[in-house]
Amino acid sequence: MRVIDSHTEGEPTRLIVSGGPDLGSGPLDARRRLFAARHDGVRTFVLNEPRGYDAMVGALLCEPTAPDCAAGLIFFNNAGFLGMCGHGTIGAAVTLAHLGRLAPGTHRFETPVGIVGVDLRDRNTATVGNVPSYRHRAAVRVAVEGLGPVTGDVAWGGNWFFLTESAPCAITAANIPRLTEAAQRIRAALARDGVTGRDGGEIDHVEICGPAPPGADARGFVLCPGGAYDRSPCGTGTSAKLACLAAEGALAPGAPWVQESVIGTRFTARYAAGPDGTILPSVTGRAWVTAEARLLRDPADPFPNGIGGAA
């Protein structure tokens, strides 16, 4: 299997460019379900140790169904499959440019939750025009073990997020273990209380929001579904944040919003009004290709599909 690795503002993406599972040519959401049902060993093979690690996000390069799309992408991580991934889309665009398959300019990518726009600015910079995003519930309060009452919004940015009003400690790299534990406890409290997204969608991302550092508008810590924190500011999380700001009237359409990650990297985002009360976010970030590799599977390997993957 041929893969190319990149990182987007610190967050890794591993793109499968050949040798992935044959999922046919149906809609991307149907292909994602087929991937999960019949080929989950490929996901663990690509991302689990010893070939990968918890923070890595995978993407399968697919033929799109829409004729005006440059590529189709199915995203996955160490815990399962994702609807959309902002940093992964930026990473995929930069990787396709590295391969000579994508020139600077405006393109469209197909994902399981809809078509997104990609404006490749240069060899490292891209803007993703994300799927329509919205705040689902405001000021939801849950009692969290060890933290007390925590208030936040439930919002969709391509994945479901709970975005807190405040942080239990400073959002710094030194506090990553403490922030991780807090976010895990928040997610457990949401599940316990039956707090979900629309139509019962699982809230699998928690974004702990903190005050703005110099030169940015906010700093956040995002816990991803598999327990790893996002090294980037999180593209779908930033989209969810914009949806909350727009719902509050706290950010005007077209105004820039600089979101900083726990490690100090940044995305610049804006939004336009969308249909039915949604917003249309755009998120700009940078990515770098870090490796080209062929992943090998030896039948004698005691972990042929990675540690924790089914044989």
Same domain, 88 and 154: no
Question: Quick one: what percent of the chain has pLDDT higher than 70?
Answer: 100
Q: In what helix (H) or strand (E) does residue 123 lie, and over which residues does it extend?
A: none
Residue 224 lies in a domain: yes
169 is annotated as an active-site residue = no
Q: What is the pLDDT of residues 218-267, one digit of tens each?
A: 999 999 999 999 999 999 999 999 999 999 999 999 999 999 999 999 99
Residue 234 lies in a domain: yes
Looking at residue 47, its pLDDT comes to 97
Same domain, 191 and 236: yes
**Helix, coil or strand: residue 81:** strand
Q: Got the DSSP string for 229-256?
A: BPSS--HHHHHHHHHHHHHHT-S-TT--
Same domain, 124 and 149: no
Same domain, 75 and 201: no
Same domain, 175 and 109: no
The neighbour count for residue 29, using CB atoms within 10 Å, is: 14
Same domain, 171 and 75: no
Same domain, 172 and 221: yes
Same domain, 96 and 167: no
Residue 121 lies in a domain: yes
Q: Got the DSSP string for 129-161?
A: EPPPBEEEEEEEEEEETTTEEEEEEEEESSSEE
CATH code of the domain in which 208 resides: 3.10.310.10
Same domain, 168 and 226: yes
Looking at residue 299, its pLDDT comes to 87
Residue 33 lies in a domain: yes
Residue 285 lies in a domain: no
Q: How far is CA 77 from CA 173, 230, 256, in A?
A: 22, 12, 30
Same domain, 95 and 223: no
85 is annotated as an active-site residue = yes
Looking at residue 134, its pLDDT comes to 98
- Predicted confidence pLDDT, tens digits, the chain (311 residues): 999 999 999 999 999 999 999 999 999 999 999 999 999 999 999 999 999 999 999 999 999 999 999 999 999 999 999 999 999 999 999 999 999 999 999 999 999 999 999 999 999 999 999 999 999 999 999 999 999 999 999 999 999 999 999 999 999 999 999 999 999 999 999 999 999 999 999 999 999 999 999 999 999 999 999 999 999 999 999 999 999 999 999 999 999 999 999 999 999 999 999 999 999 999 999 999 999 999 999 989 999 999 998 87
List the domain range (segments joined by +) for residue 12: 2-131+290-294
Alpha helices in 99-227 (DSSP H): 176-192
Same domain, 192 and 237: yes
> Rounded to the nearest 5 degrees, what angle is found at the Cα of 295, between the Cα atoms of 289 and 301?
145
Looking at residue 310, its pLDDT comes to 83
Q: Which of 85, 209, 224, 244 is catalytic?
A: 85
What total of structural domains would you count in the chain?
2
Residue 305 lies in a domain: no
Residue 71 lies in a domain: yes
Looking at residue 137, its pLDDT comes to 98
Residue 112 lies in a domain: yes
Same domain, 141 and 118: no
Q: How far is CA 269 from CA 45, 192, 200, 208, 257, in A?
A: 34, 33, 28, 18, 5
Q: How far is CA 128 from CA 31, 116, 203, 257, in A?
A: 22, 7, 23, 14
Q: Which of 69, 209, 224, 234 is catalytic?
A: 234
**Alpha-carbon gap, residue 126 to 297, rounded angstroms:** 34
**Alpha-carbon gap, residue 137 to 114, rounded angstroms:** 22
Query: Which pTM value belongs to this model?
Result: 0.96
